[in-house]
């Protein structure tokens, strides 16, 4: 176990101004607090926080973080309190320890809803100080290194949590070495056979290739040195999990992988990166499509490097990373490489303002306030954690970083939520492109917008970024709520008018408490969705009113002829024989103003006497008065709405109707039927055919027509055709 002076010496190597007394005090306090506690391995428990602190010294972190690592289990597992730690060390260190205590209680591999909520809490715990995350990652790394001592039933659960949450978080923070070790340790536990298989094959490959890595290192070093470039070349084989993931993604065998080895070229200056690249590309052929410049366009976690693949010595495919030592430090330590030291208490600005990794973390945390459900937040966060990136530009040159397979819709929402909500088209590299097209690296994207546009709900299944998906859901919910609120207002207004009262929003506002709603829009939306009865609203506004009993009573009975000459008799509750323009809800067709749809079988057209049936959560379904389907709602008078046509003559639109045509079974009969409908300016939306006999064919046709007169004209012309035996309208 590391001694007290050894820990201090590790910190002093990179921070000569370290507060030795603070570190000594924390060491002694933690050792005494944990006392005789033991780990599952039998080692003293204090060895664990000490190893966590040692990992953080490798990341060159400040005194406060090292102290928090030593104390991170004291509040949870000993008699120590937050107040005591504040007093003995500092409130800043106390806050770090308390944040770590909260994280320790979280279960991140529970069922989805709970997992999502716990992931929220994890990110909120690191919102104020990202050092909480750095200590937690070091804590998880040491726990994974000693996982063999954990009970069998718990190991896979811890490994899965590490692979799903902590390894991707380390990657997003730019801490690639830690991410790779966490992935390998998890992979070894979760897929031990695959892990051992890859290890065995790597060992066999190393024996077969002999000195291949060292010979490539020498040849690269010599070629670069000849151009007077100071550089260090290091080769290594890829990690087992990285190899397995590539095999899975590309569905290839181990023997088919040509990039098992990777080489890193470290130079002194930025310009040396490109000079070394020129040497490599001059000496060995480039593999097309494998060059990436992450120096001019860094990754979101601040990673900068040149990537290329060449066919090197011995016709061996060689992956190369070229970067400066400063870039290498950020690539290795990520967000921890931004640590600064300003005073003895370690109160430093841990992160520079231009840290993209921290900016990503802040944006993710901001989404906590926007997500409407834990599941949506989990979906967004995992999307952000796992996707690779593509770099695109606005016409003004602003860089937009998106996941692979992103679309112009994702791009629009990345620019601004308002741009995404109003997007109607896109130009990619100056050419009009579909909003669903996949963007490529270097694309210049211009989004075309329209003020009246709202995003279609179908976009949600197209986009790949969590931000776009969340914004589309919000906009869709807002649009649907506005529809229901508009419908509900009309229902309330007409219910009040039918009761012989005067509608007043002031009176309704004063009745909100009686209706258990916070706003007028809440009331309207509840009525529009069918969650609240309109007569309850009238009674809340006018308590003296006796109710709608007389209005809900049957207003008439009707006999309606069916297709085969049968008749049907049913009551029409609360519906007048002629709709009153003041109380009937106007119907203009399917639009965004009201949640309206038409009877699924038969439809309705202007000229029909119509009624509306309110379905909770779905809006109004419009039926022609002669529809036999209305008898299904005879015992639910509260769902019947008086509606009327309000057709705009300046903006004609077609309405759905269904007809049944029985025609002779001969060549050309379908063509004649379609010709009649087309010549009459009808539109066939759907057609189903079946043969009743060898001589006749039955066609069920969904037609779009302007009104009842238009429909009757089509039916008359069809009946005039010799091939047509009969035509009837379906009144579903």
pLDDT digits (tens, 9 = 90+) for 509-527: 888 888 888 888 888 888 8
**In this model, does residue 203 exceed pLDDT 90?**
no
Q: Is the pTM of this model over 0.75?
A: no
pLDDT at position 622 is 85
Task: Return contacts of 597-602, CB within 8 angstroms, 24+ apart.
Answer: 597/621, 597/622, 598/622, 598/655, 598/656, 599/623, 599/624, 599/627, 599/629, 599/732, 600/732, 601/629, 601/658, 601/730, 601/732, 602/627, 602/657, 602/658, 602/729, 602/730, 602/731, 602/732
Choice between 630 and 63, residue whose per-residue pLDDT is larger: 63
pLDDT band at residue 106 using 50, 70 and 90 as cut-offs:
low
- The sign of the dihedral angle between the CA atoms of 662, 668, 674, 676 is negative
SS (H, E, C) 235-300: EEECCHHHHHHHHHHHCCCHHHCCCCEEEEEEECCHHHHHHHHHHHHHHCCECCCCCEECCCCCCC
Looking at residue 340, its pLDDT comes to 41
DSSP assignment of 622-647, as one string?
EEETT-GGGGGGTT-GGGEEEEEE--
- The per-residue pLDDT of the chain, averaged, comes to 80
- Give residue-wise pLDDT tens across range 367-420: 555 555 656 655 555 555 555 567 788 888 777 878 778 999 999 998 998 999
Give mean pLDDT, residues 358-369: 60
Please pick, among 43, 58, 76, 268, the residue that the annotation labels catalytic.
76
Cβ neighbourhood burial of 379 (10 Å; 0-12, 13-18, 19+): middle
| pLDDT at position 648 | 74
Fold of domain 655-729: Alpha-Beta Plaits (3.30.70)
**What average pLDDT does the segment 551-571 reach?**
43
Please compute Rg for the chain using Cα positions: 36
Amino acid 555: pLDDT: 44
For the chain, percent of residues with pLDDT exceeding 90: 27
User: What tens digit of pLDDT does each residue of 448-459 get?
Assistant: 998 878 888 889
Q: For residue 240, what are its two tokens?
A: 């087992």
CA 338, 414, 395: angle at the middle one, nearest 5?
100
Phi and psi, residue 708, nearest 5°: -65, -40
Pairwise CA distance, residues 475 & 477, whole Å: 5
Q: What is the dihedral of CA 164, 170, 171, 176, to 10 degrees?
A: -130
- Is residue 557 annotated as a catalytic residue, yes or no? no
Least confident among 144-158, 301-315, 375-389: 375-389
Residues 418 and 467: beta-carbon distance below 8 Å: no
Q: CB-based contacts of 402: which residues, under 8 Å, 6+ apart?
A: 389, 390, 391, 392, 410, 411, 414, 439, 464, 465
136 in Cβ contact with 161 (< 8 Å): no
Active-site annotation holder among 77, 217, 259, 438 = 77
What was the pLDDT predicted at 127?
63
Q: Alpha carbon of 351 to those of 88, 330, 355: distances in Å?
A: 26, 12, 7
Largest CA distance in the chain: 106
- 701 pLDDT exceeds 90? yes
Asked whether residue 343 carries a pLDDT value surpassing 60, the answer given is no
CA neighbours within 13 Å on the CB side: how many for 382?
A: 15
Kindly give the residue spans of alpha helices, DSSP state H, lying in 353-499. 356-366, 374-386, 408-415, 417-421, 466-498
Torsion, CA 347, CA 352, CA 357, CA 359, rounded to 10? 100
> Can you name the CATH fold of 4-190?
Hypothetical protein af1432 (1.10.3210)
Helices (H) and strands (E) in the chain, counts: 29, 21
Give me the sheet containing 292-293, strands edge to edge. 231-237, 261-267, 317-324, 306-311, 292-293
Confidence check: pLDDT of 443 > 80: yes
- Residues 241, 245, 248, 252, CA torsion sign: negative
Q: Do 394 and 445 meet the contact criterion of CB atoms below 8 Å apart?
A: yes
H-assigned helices in 586-679: 669-679
Least confident of 209-223, 281-295, 581-595, 689-703: 581-595
pLDDT value at residue 684: 92
Q: Which of 218-222, 351-355, 433-437 has the lowest mean pLDDT?
A: 351-355
Whether 574 has a pLDDT exceeding 60, the answer reads no
Q: Cα separation of 247 and 292, whole Å? A: 22
Q: Which residues fall within 8 angstroms of residue 16, CB to CB, at 6 or more apart?
A: none
Architecture of domain 196-336: 2-Layer Sandwich (3.30)
pLDDT for 30 beyond 90: yes
Does 714 have pLDDT greater than 90?
Answer: yes
Choose between 163 and 498: higher pLDDT: 163
Torsion of CA 134, 140, 144, 146, to 10 degrees: 100
**Annotated catalytic, 77?**
yes
- Give the pLDDT band (50/70/90) at residue 482: confident
> Between these two residues, 622 and 272, which has the higher pLDDT value?
272
pLDDT at 564 over 60: no
Q: Above 70 in pLDDT, residue 550?
A: no
Q: List CB contacts of 547: < 8 A, sequence separation 6 or more.
A: 535, 539
Give the span between the Cα atoms of 723 and 663, in whole angstroms: 5
Domain boundaries, the chain: 4-190, 196-336, 475-550, 553-645, 655-729
């Amino acid at each position: 176990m590391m001694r007290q002076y050894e820990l201090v010496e590790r910190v002093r190597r990179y921070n000569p101004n370290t507060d030795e007394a603070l570190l000594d005090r924390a060491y002694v306090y933690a050792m005494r607090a944990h006392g005789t506690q033991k780990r599952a391995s039998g080692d003293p428990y204090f060895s664990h926080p000490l190893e966590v602190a040692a990992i953080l010294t490798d990341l060159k972190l400040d005194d406060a973080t090292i102290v928090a690592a030593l104390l991170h289990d004291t509040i949870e597992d000993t008699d120590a309190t937050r107040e005591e730690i504040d007093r003995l060390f500092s409130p800043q260190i106390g806050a770090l320890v308390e944040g770590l205590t909260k994280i320790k209680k979280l279960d991140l591999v529970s069922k989805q809803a709970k997992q999502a909520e716990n992931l929220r809490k994890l990110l909120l715990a690191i919102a104020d100080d990202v050092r909480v995350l750095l200590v937690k990652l070091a804590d998880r790394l040491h726990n994974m290194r000693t996982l063999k001592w954990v009970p069998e039933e718990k190991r896979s659960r811890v490994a899965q949590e590490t692979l799903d949450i902590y390894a991707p978080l380390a990657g997003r923070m730019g801490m690639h070495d830690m991410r790779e070790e966490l992935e390998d340790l998890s992979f070894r536990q979760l897929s031990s056979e695959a892990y051992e298989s890859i290890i065995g094959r790597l060992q066999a490959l190393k024996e077969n290739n002999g000195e291949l890595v060292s010979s490539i290192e020498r040849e690269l070093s010599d070629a670069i040195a000849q151009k007077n470039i100071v550089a260090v070349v290091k080769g290594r084989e890829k990690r087992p999990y990285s190899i397995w993931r590539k095999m899975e993604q590309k569905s290839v065998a181990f023997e088919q992988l040509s990039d098992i080895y990777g080489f890193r070229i470290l130079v002194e200056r930025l310009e040396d990166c490109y000079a070394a690249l020129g040497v490599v590309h001059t000496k060995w052929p480039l593999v097309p499509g494998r060059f990436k410049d992450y120096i001019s366009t860094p990754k979101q976690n601040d990673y900068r490097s040149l990537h290329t693949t060449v066919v090197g010595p011995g016709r061996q495919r060689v992956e190369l990373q070229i970067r400066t030592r400063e870039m290498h430090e950020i690539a290795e330590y990520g967000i921890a490489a931004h640590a600064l030291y300003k005073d003895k208490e370690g109160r430093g600005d841990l992160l520079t303002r231009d840290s993209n990794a921290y900016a990503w973390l802040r944006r993710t945390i901001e989404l906590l306030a926007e997500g409407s459900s834990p599941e949506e937040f989990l979906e967004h966060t995992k999307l952000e954690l796992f996707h690779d990136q593509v770099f695109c530009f606005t016409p003004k040159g602003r860089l937009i970083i998106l996941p692979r397979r992103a679309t112009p819709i994702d791009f629009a929402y990345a620019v601004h939520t308002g741009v995404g909500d109003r997007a109607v088209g896109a130009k990619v590299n100056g050419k009009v492109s579909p909003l669903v097209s996949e963007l490529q690296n270097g694309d210049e994207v211009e989004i075309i917008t329209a003020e009246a546009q709202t995003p279609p709900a179908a976009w949600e299944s197209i986009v790949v970024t969590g931000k776009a998906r969340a914004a589309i859901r919000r906009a869709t919910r807002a649009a649907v709520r506005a529809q229901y609120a508009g419908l509900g207002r009309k229902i309330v207004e007409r219910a009040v008018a039918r009761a012989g009262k005067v509608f007043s929003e002031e009176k309704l506002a004063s009745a909100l408490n009686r209706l258990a709603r916070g706003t007028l829009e809440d009331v309207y939306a509840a009525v529009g969705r069918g969650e609240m009865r309109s007569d309850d609203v009238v009674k809340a506004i006018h308590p003296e009113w006796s109710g709608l009993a007389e209005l809900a009573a049957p207003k008439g009975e009707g006999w309606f002829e069916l297709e085969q000459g049968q008749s049907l008799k049913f009551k029409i509750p609360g519906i007048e024989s002629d709709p009153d323009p003041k109380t009937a809800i106007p119907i203009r067709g399917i639009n965004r103003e009201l949640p309206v749809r038409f009877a699924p079988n038969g439809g309705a057209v202007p000229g029909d006497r119509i009624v509306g049936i309110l379905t909770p959560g779905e809006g109004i379904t419009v039926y022609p008065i002669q529809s036999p389907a209305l008898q299904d709602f005879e015992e639910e008078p509260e769902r019947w709405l008086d509606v009327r046509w309000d057709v705009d003559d300046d903006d004609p639109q077609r309405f759905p109707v269904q007809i049944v045509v029985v025609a002779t079974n001969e060549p050309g009969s379908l063509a004649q039927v379609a010709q009649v409908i087309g010549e009459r300016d009808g539109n066939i939306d759907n057609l189903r055919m079946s043969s009743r006999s060898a001589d006749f064919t039955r066609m069920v046709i969904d037609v779009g027509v302007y009104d009842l007169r238009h429909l009757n004209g089509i039916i008359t012309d069809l009946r005039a055709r010799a091939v047509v035996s009969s035509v009837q309208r379906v009144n579903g």
